[in-house]
Amino acid sequence: MGKHIQPVSKNNTYTIEIVSLGHSGEGVGRYEGFTIFVPYALPGETVEVKILEVKKNYAKGKLTAVIVAAKSRCLAECPIYDQCGGCQLQHVNYEEQLVLKRQTVVDAVTRIGKIENVVIHQTLGVQEPWYYRNKMQLPVGTVSGQVVVGCFAQGTHQIINTEHCFIQHETNNRVAQAVQQIVSELGITTYDEQTGQGVMRHVLGRVGVKTDEVMVVLVTATSALPRQAEVITKLRERVPNLVSIIHNINSKHTNVILGNRTTVLWGKESITDQIGKFTFNISARSFFQVNTIQAEVLYNKAVEYADLSGRETVIDAYCGTGTITLFLAEKAAKVYGIEIVEPAILDARVNAELNQVTNAEFTVGDAIDIMPRMFKQGLRPEVVVVDPPRAGCERKVLETFANMQPQRIVYVSCNPASLARDLAVLEEYGYMTKEIQPVDMFPHTYHVESVALIVAKNKG
């Protein structure tokens, strides 16, 4: 067979038109029908692109010039935007970001799910799209003899010093600056990935947006934190509203940030925050949506789609620390939360108690095992709510949902591609997608959350 010849070559430059946005926020264009991915390029633009990598079916390129710019193109606020991997859409004005995010959901549902005639609403944006992240986790290192705290440069493990991140809560920025100064002042060594030597690996900051409570987690490669008493004193002096200083030990040669051993150096072991009327305990390891304000928008939409009258039984699969569960419990007769991660279920039980919610029951285990058991015991939920990881649900889980024959399934998704695939599977099992509401939880990044309302086809 003759070898397929691609129309573009590495290191050559081409002029192309960008037709859409890829699932990681990059522009997608074509040259003689051949797909080229171009970060920082926007739909509707004519750009010049230098080819960096050529694969069988596509190429990756670097934007070298914008010949015809999109009206929505703007200057990024952040001075290190083009070096840092944290944001992908700061070069687009915020209103257009919302339009583009809706389009990624539309494209996924129609192309991957092959589903037409679904109402996909405009993306619900946020009033203030800056300084929203309540959780920060940054590597600590040494560059040219100076201690740095910041983001890894895109696609590398080279730390870019991040004095002021435009999407982090401003208190987290203050935490990062304080840790950088303290590590430097006290002469504490930083961890070197190559040699495995050094002490300080990462700093985590968590902020209760509604309560102002702050937690600092120091991750070291060593079991002891040098000059511990001085570190505590200096952090307390420099970080307002600090209520918790945690030490986490991670001695493994790994990309995973947190190790298995955690101790409280000072203060409480958790902070609290509020979403809607509910208060949540947040420990160093707890899962909690990073955008507190938009989490309330997301959960309220899930409850609206659940359409509860107070008589229903609801299953919340992948319930995590019980955030959505508590919102559902307020409107349902009974909610069963299922989650495979045991510490999350322990947090969920604490959160239910904290909020005096008595009609939520939490079970540790895999939904594939737990739900059939509940069904055998006679449980017939009117509504199933699911908020799975990025990879979506296994087919067996979706089949299990369908076997329980709920009237409605509410699917909360952080990945339009896996959502679309799962919606297509549910179609096979007798369900149809009525509407989808995209929610912008992560301004200036390519991520988009969605809530889908899925109903039984035989339900008038």
Q: Which residues are catalytic?
A: 414
Spacing of C-alpha 235 from chain mean position: 28
Query: Phi and psi at residue 109, in whole multiples of 5°?
Result: -65, -40
Distance, CA of 356 to CA of 452 (rounded, Å):
29
Distance, CA of 319 to CA of 268 (rounded, Å):
25
426: three-class secondary structure by DSSP: helix
Tell me the one-letter amino acid at 395.
R
Spacing of C-alpha 18 from chain mean position: 27
Helix (H) or strand (E) holding 373: helix 367-376
Distance, CA of 138 to CA of 147 (rounded, Å):
13
H helices present in 127-221, as ranges: 170-185
Sign of torsion over alpha carbons 452, 296, 176, 220: negative
- Total length of the chain: 460
CA-CA distances (angstroms) from residue 234 to 162, 179, 205, 229? 20, 9, 16, 9
Instruction: Select from 439, 440, 457, 334 the least CA-distant residue to 402.
Output: 457
Q: Where are the beta strands (DSSP E) in 356-398?
A: 360-364, 383-386
Distance, CA of 173 to CA of 415 (rounded, Å):
28
Distance, CA of 50 to CA of 280 (rounded, Å):
49
396: three-class secondary structure by DSSP: helix
Whole-angstrom distance between the N-terminal and C-terminal Cα of the chain?
A: 55
Residue 362's DSSP bridge partners are 337
Instruction: Select from 444, 378, 353, 450 the least CA-distant residue to 410.
Output: 450
Spacing of C-alpha 338 from chain mean position: 20
